[in-house]
A and B are shown apart, each in its own frame.
Chain A
């Protein structure tokens, strides 16, 4: 009886992916415990977010993809309006206006857009599948360009870049012509000085610091230097769990959130890094497999996009922590402490699973 109930409950869940995800979450929790200075309450909090995220994962996995396609535009419009609202009545914290105070809780509309933009674009491009014109790509592009402008303005370059990447993935997967891609790339390249001129000072600094972190060792370069020290001193096998001095003695800034990978890397070394990357690769691989098996264009675009977004997060975060790219506020998925990023990430896996479990139904309908 119970067995049947469980089977029924898990009917729409991809077990392989869930196992990979769970493994990563466990490693993440252990790392968080160490990174927080053995603060069990922080870990319990994170566990709560994970619980919430898993419920959302279950819910989203059980929703039929066609509803996503249907709901895409309305949610997008609401999200966009909220984003506009942030601009006028938003809550300022750390010099950026990102939050909307709704009395009970604060929400970050840019997070809503992060998941809504690809869905909407996938919906639009899938709808136009058989009579797609150049103008359709332009319209689809507007779906991400408009919110990105608002988000970068907040300013939140990290989320802006992620949504841009997400949008590009969709366009690319939908079959955007190579010539056009090359053209845009060249265009962006030639626009670089203009973009540079429009960056905020702190954003410019981050790029400059990447080139020479020692330029300002106590200021902007501090994060970069300290995380490199943490990783480098971890060596081959690491200093051992709870023994990372950089993390334990507070030298690493933001070590429960954006820089949590440095804590992991210091304590588990190169071998740990390889195992973790392997785990991430398994998740990405499984996701792409699900995506490639999807039967319709919408599912295909969305599923691939979710896999790629997951990859992008990982890559940008680790590249930033290990000093390859400038510092942008991007959390490490399934690791970094924080309710929004955790629940949104798990929810997106749920959506992905929904594409998988409902593929036959779509095909037949």
Chain B
């Protein structure tokens, strides 16, 4: 038995013991050497690695979020600014039971269904470490009540936040746009632009209109604070700090009073209006009706509110001024007339005898004038004044579609105007090539006929129409329209003034231009299609009415607005510039389902011109008497 030690003396026992102690000492030395080896590894070889980690641990970089730049109108009236308010915010990661916490908050701060919906929506889009507002702008009483219960709510905080506000409410909403909380899509954009660093701590971003287009200027430069933090992330002391630089102030070329008059004049109608200074391309008014309230978006819109806006049949989110596509109707006639004059197809003395219809040679197809039995003997000026369809039918055939579409394209139709707003539609000027490509069909002569009175495939945006009108008014300078006048850097005080770019100068024979202008002036005179519109104006206006069909009528069907559902009524279009001798304003507007151009669109334009040229505000006249309603249709 090997364990037996009974023969062992006290001395052998001691001998064994000493040997084992020596053995243990060796073991201890090895163990200590192992520790020392580990120390050397950690503290010498991995020193810089762990030093870096310890710095990361200890130093946090806290962004100083800049104030967003202001948006002003040309007279310095505030269209968008910021204000400080309280916001009750929840950091889900710090809350043990989110639902319970929300239940407990209810009696204290009074959360509405909307608040909760908004919260849930943002919650879905954010990380659980984000501080998510559950109630923005709580009342002072609610703030006080919450503060007294603060200890019961871990992870819930009252924060003071800078909010965007649009003091004018729904006014000019499509123009100014709005900001909204940064969503995953925006994060991609920020990444692509290389803005990540500057957007640390930023919660919202421009989503529409000026707010979006000038995001880079409005945002400002984020400052940073390097602070030493403890394990709970509480700042212990500040090590270094760079202040935020507030965003630039943007001054629009918009005259907000003019804008207001225009918006009010639209009343309940849907539609759009663009007013441009033809001398420099500055946009003076930019209207798209109906509007929406941009303030709804600032703290994140809830799903129901968004649904209402997005699914409404009136499409309040559609920016009709740059995305509304309408057939130009008769408003195209001055341009077509000029094309014919420039191409020597027509001259001032050329007349036709209008029987009230036009027969296409070699086909027997007839196209009716809007006026039964016709206008009698009509020359070019007269044709514009009374909007004679028959005159233009024949003119179009002789001019041919190629020349017509080329000429219209030079005014900027069919392509974006390049205004400082994203997502502008380009509209459409048809050509045989286009049709072949799109429909694999040849161009028919009849299509030329209707194209010459602005029907058929042609589509324009109010923005394009306004630009073209301005070009006509200034004698051929195609100017890229702009919504802003200047940008002021608030740090340096430097003012950057924008000169609008002249895209091209179109050369027209003065006598041709004068002829078209004469026709357009006569439109507003007794006998013209917008005589009522021009009545009593102390300045001369050049204008053209137009009507765009919403539905096609059968050959012998009489268009009767009162019998047709409002949604199927024609769109009323109107272009004008004034004073005719030396124009300072050019307007294009469309009233959806407004019927005839002169009756609904005209009064709106007149109020605008009166204010702009005379600084007087005339009351809205609901039913202005006009000449027999013009209606253009074909079979």
Which chain A residues have a beta carbon within 8 Å of chain B's beta carbons?
Answer: 129-134, 137, 172-173, 175-177, 179-180, 226, 228-236, 245-246, 249-251, 265, 269-270, 273-274, 277, 281, 284, 288, 291-292, 297, 300, 304, 308, 311, 315, 318-319, 322-324
Taking a contact as CB atoms under 8 Å apart, the answer to whether B39 and A322 are in contact is: yes
Q: Which of the residues A131, A235, A319, A322 comes within 8 Å of B47, measured between beta carbons?
A: A235
Q: In whole angstroms, how far apart are the Cα atoms of A236 and B45 in the complex?
A: 10
**Residues in B neighbouring A245, C-beta threshold 8 A:** 54, 57-58, 228
**Residues in B neighbouring A232, C-beta threshold 8 A:** 42-43, 46-47, 49-51, 53-54
Among B19-27, B133-141, B310-318, B602-610, the stretch that binds chain A is B19-27
Q: Which of the residues B14, B28, B47 comes within 8 Å of A284, measured between beta carbons?
A: B28
15 residue pairs A–B, Cβ–Cβ below 8 Å: A129-B13, A132-B6, A133-B1, A172-B24, A175-B20, A176-B3, A228-B42, A249-B230, A270-B43, A270-B44, A281-B28, A297-B10, A318-B35, A323-B42, A324-B38
Q: In whole angstroms, how far apart are the Cα atoms of A37 and B230 in the complex?
A: 12
CB distance from B48 to the nearest CB of A (A): 9
**Residues in A neighbouring B503, C-beta threshold 8 A:** none
**Residues in B neighbouring A270, C-beta threshold 8 A:** 39-40, 43-44
Taking a contact as CB atoms under 8 Å apart, the answer to whether A273 and B229 are in contact is: no
**Residues in B neighbouring A179, C-beta threshold 8 A:** 2
Supply 17 further A-B pairs (C-beta < 8 A) apart from A229-B54, A234-B43, A273-B43.
A175-B5, A175-B8, A175-B13, A175-B20, A229-B50, A229-B53, A229-B57, A232-B43, A232-B53, A235-B43, A235-B47, A246-B57, A281-B32, A288-B21, A292-B17, A308-B24, A315-B35
Taking a contact as CB atoms under 8 Å apart, the answer to whether B35 and A134 are in contact is: no
B231 in the interface (beta carbon within 8 A) = yes
B16 in the interface (beta carbon within 8 A) = yes
Q: In whole angstroms, how far apart are the Cα atoms of A132 and B4 in the complex?
A: 6
Number of interchain pairs (Cβ within 8 Å): 143
Q: Which of the residues A172, A233, A235, A249 comes within 8 Å of B231, measured between beta carbons?
A: A249
Q: Is the interface of B mostly helix, strand, loop or mixed?
A: helix
Q: In whole angstroms, how far apart are the Cα atoms of A292 and B15 in the complex?
A: 10
Using A231-B42, A270-B44 as known contacts, say yes or no to A175 and B17 having CB atoms under 8 A apart: yes
Nearest A-chain residue to B24, judged by Cβ: A308
Using A133-B3, A236-B44 as known contacts, say yes or no to A322 and B35 having CB atoms under 8 A apart: yes
Within 8 A of A (CB), among B225-239: 228-232, 236
Taking a contact as CB atoms under 8 Å apart, the answer to whether B43 and A297 are in contact is: no
Q: Is the interface of A mostly helix, strand, loop or mixed?
A: helix
CB distance from B159 to the nearest CB of A (A): 24
**Residues in A neighbouring B43, C-beta threshold 8 A:** 231-232, 234-236, 265, 269-270, 273
**Residues in A neighbouring B13, C-beta threshold 8 A:** 129, 175, 297
Taking a contact as CB atoms under 8 Å apart, the answer to whether A274 and B231 are in contact is: no
Taking a contact as CB atoms under 8 Å apart, the answer to whether B40 and A277 are in contact is: no
Nearest A-chain residue to B28, judged by Cβ: A311
B34 in the interface (beta carbon within 8 A) = yes
**Residues in A neighbouring B34, C-beta threshold 8 A:** 319, 324
Q: Which 4 pairs from chain A and chain B are nearest by CB?
A: A232-B50, A233-B54, A134-B3, A250-B231
**Residues in A neighbouring B35, C-beta threshold 8 A:** 277, 315, 318-319, 322, 324
CB distance from A96 to the nearest CB of B (A): 23
Taking a contact as CB atoms under 8 Å apart, the answer to whether B21 and A304 are in contact is: yes
Within 8 A of A (CB), among B46-78: 46-47, 49-51, 53-54, 57-58
Q: In whole angstroms, how far apart are the Cα atoms of A234 and B48 in the complex?
A: 10
B150 in the interface (beta carbon within 8 A) = no
Within 8 A of A (CB), among B291-317: none
Taking a contact as CB atoms under 8 Å apart, the answer to whether B4 and A133 are in contact is: yes
CB distance from A222 to the nearest CB of B (A): 10
Nearest A-chain residue to B38, judged by Cβ: A322
Taking a contact as CB atoms under 8 Å apart, the answer to whether B50 and A233 are in contact is: yes
**Residues in A neighbouring B14, C-beta threshold 8 A:** 300
Q: Which of the residues A129, A291, A318, A324 comes within 8 Å of B21, measured between beta carbons?
A: A291
CB distance from B386 to the nearest CB of A (A): 81
CB distance from B452 to the nearest CB of A (A): 74
**Residues in B neighbouring A133, C-beta threshold 8 A:** 1, 3-4, 6
Q: Which of B2, B42, B232 has the most CB of A within 10 A?
A: B42
